[in-house]
Amino acid sequence: MVLLTGTWKRHRKRFAIDLRVRRRSKLLATVTLLTLPARILADWTTFGHDPQRSGWAFEETALTPETVGGLKLKWSTQLPNESLALNALTAPLVARDIVTTKGVKTLVYVAGSSNHVFALDAATGEVVWSRRFQSYAKALVESFYLCPNAINATPVISRHDNLIYVLAFDGRVYGLDLGSGAIKFGPFQLVPAFAKPWSLNYYGGVLYTTTSQGCGGDHSGIYSMDVRNPMHHSSHELLIRQGGGAGMWNRGGTAIGGGRLYVSTGDGVFNPAEGDYGSTFLAVSTPDLELLGYYTPRNWREINRLDLDLPSGGIVWFAHGNKDLVAGGGKEGVVYLLDADNFGGKDHHTPLYATPRLGNDEHELASKGIWGSPAVWTDENGETWLYITMWGKVSRNAPAFPLTNGPTPHGSIMALKVVSDRDSSAFKLQLAWVSPDFNLPDPPVVANGVVFALATGENSQQNKDPNILHYKSHQDWKNNLLTTEDRGRGTSPAVLTAMDARTGKLLYESGDAIKSWVHFSGLAIEDGQVYVVDYESRLYCFGLASTR
């Protein structure tokens, strides 16, 4: 039985929301929480911690603004995985109290680009088990960074099934026993072989993912699979009608809250009458993937023309006051706040609030703007904070942030507060602070008043000539792409950074502990430890001396 004291009491409402218990059912919410095993609440089971992609480790107690300066590199492990294009290891996942042949352990899980999955002892970094998936599919095109022919989707853990679900590069999904790696579910085909799927999500016994770039002949879209019966699975798809555009490449794939699924789409045709929703936020039913609503910025033509994809900035679902909300943004540098139950209003073009442009005055398609999923934190005073990753300088036309922490020529984490009037009929995002400079920040995560983020050190340039936006042929487009070797030049080792969640003040940096850069990664936090990966397939554990 979990006793609702301290942190648990402060976040009771949030837990009730995450469990699909509506606010009017307060008694049911309390009963559910009192009977839920504590170990489930403390795991990091999916990209961004939870199905909502909040990035908030609300169970964490050891890492605080006062203790985080004591972080040290506890171990690093080199894993036998070959990087493919820009892909190496997926974002880490963590599960505690796992029964293994070596005893009961907390395990850290990562999938490897060359069709691997690894489970490591969180205390020592020792590999407890690993698996390489056998594939009989053959890629028809050479691996390159937009279509890497690699594992791209961060797996997801279901403690109910005691399984980790992994999407192999041939598009088949496996359910592996958490303690042994034994195959307990599948393999079943979820997406086409060598498609480019994004982080798996798990909700109500159903797996979800999204795809983009048309890799492997895929039509970009949303895919789901009911995994409750290992002998009989059922699937649904919601695909882009015309294909070849409007890819759903949010780092976290989908965000799920209140029984609905949310994604954003990239550049593509916008014609709702014909089923085309380029440069749009979509609200979709679970598990059958029926379109429930959409929001399209009024300047979608400009977003399309300048290749300012919305999915680059990710999407998150959260509650504030009496309202369920969704927030996201993209390369354009604008953050959109949407009513989760009434996307875009009656005309589908009206958000609850949209910020001014906060970055990317240059309208660059690769090295500026919002990249990586946002994070959300509700403090002990009930204030809701939103954290986003901005590549490049703050816009010269943006309103002044009340707190800054020095120049940010390369990028920053930006903090905004969600503010509403008394009856929650009017909302705005109030600028709060800008972090110190980041050499291209990755998605932030939050724990106990501390924001963690990684400076990736990557080379973000995609094209030899970045000024070319339109091509006469597919070959002309491909000829303008930089190679993986080109992208590997001019990089620097990644740096883990911790900041005060209320001010952005620097509290910790990892220095030279991480040996390589990383592309499109993510962090995990569990029991005073932070887990990081790099491009050379190393997994790192930073922790406090007092933990494990």
Task: Spell out the domains of the chain, with CATH numbers in brackets.
Answer: 37-543 (2.140.10.10)
Residue range 58-78, pLDDT digits in tens: 999 999 999 999 999 999 999
CA pair distance 173, 233, nearest whole angstrom: 11
* pLDDT above 50 (res 19): no
Contacts of 538 (CB under 8 A, 6+ apart): 76, 77, 78, 79, 514, 515, 516
Query: pLDDT for 336-370, tens place per residue?
Result: 999 999 999 999 999 999 999 999 999 998 899 99
- Per DSSP (E only), the strands in 313-468 are 315-320, 323-329, 335-339, 353-354, 369-370, 375-378, 384-391, 411-420, 427-434, 445-447, 450-455
Tell me the average pLDDT across 126-132.
98
pLDDT digits (tens, 9 = 90+) for 184-238: 999 999 999 999 999 999 999 999 999 999 999 898 899 999 999 888 888 999 9
Token representation of residue 309:
């994809």
Cβ atoms of residues 77 and 533 within 8 Å: no
Q: Is the pLDDT of residue 243 over 70?
A: no
| Residue 312: band (very low, low, confident or very high) from pLDDT cuts 50, 70, 90 | very high
The pLDDT of 467-478, averaged and rounded, is 69
User: Residues of the chain with pLDDT > 90: what percent?
Assistant: 77
Pick from 352, 359, 317, 355: nearest CA to 335? 355
Is 515's pLDDT higher than 70? yes
Selected residue with higher pLDDT from 148 and 142:
148
Mean pLDDT of the chain: 90
Tell me what the mean pLDDT of segment 261-274 comes to.
Answer: 93
> Greater confidence, 512 or 27?
512
Q: What is the mean pLDDT of residues 137-142?
A: 87
First-to-last alpha carbon distance for the chain, in angstroms, is 24
Q: Rounded to whole angstroms, what are the CA distances from 387 to 322, 416, 521? A: 21, 6, 17
* CA angle (129, 187, 249) in 5-degree steps: 90
Which secondary structure element, helix H or strand E, spans residue 262, and what is its range? strand 260-264
Q: E-strand spans in 501-548?
A: 506-509, 524-526, 529-533, 538-543
Q: What 3-state class would DSSP assign to 9?
A: helix
Confidence at 547, pLDDT banded by 50, 70, 90:
low
Q: Is residue 494 within 8 Å of residue 532, measured between CB atoms?
A: yes
DSSP label at residue 68? G
Residue 16 carries which DSSP code?
H
pLDDT value, residue 463: 80
pLDDT at residue 27, rounded to an integer: 28
The share of the chain scoring above pLDDT 70, in percent, equals 90
- What pTM did the predictor assign? 0.91
- Residue 474: per-residue pLDDT: 60
Chain centroid to Cα 432, Å, comes to 23
Determine whether 64 is exposed, middle or buried from the number of CB atoms within 10 Å of its CB (0-12, 13-18, 19+). middle
Diameter over CA atoms, the chain: 64
Q: What tokens appear for 416 in the block? A: 């905004």
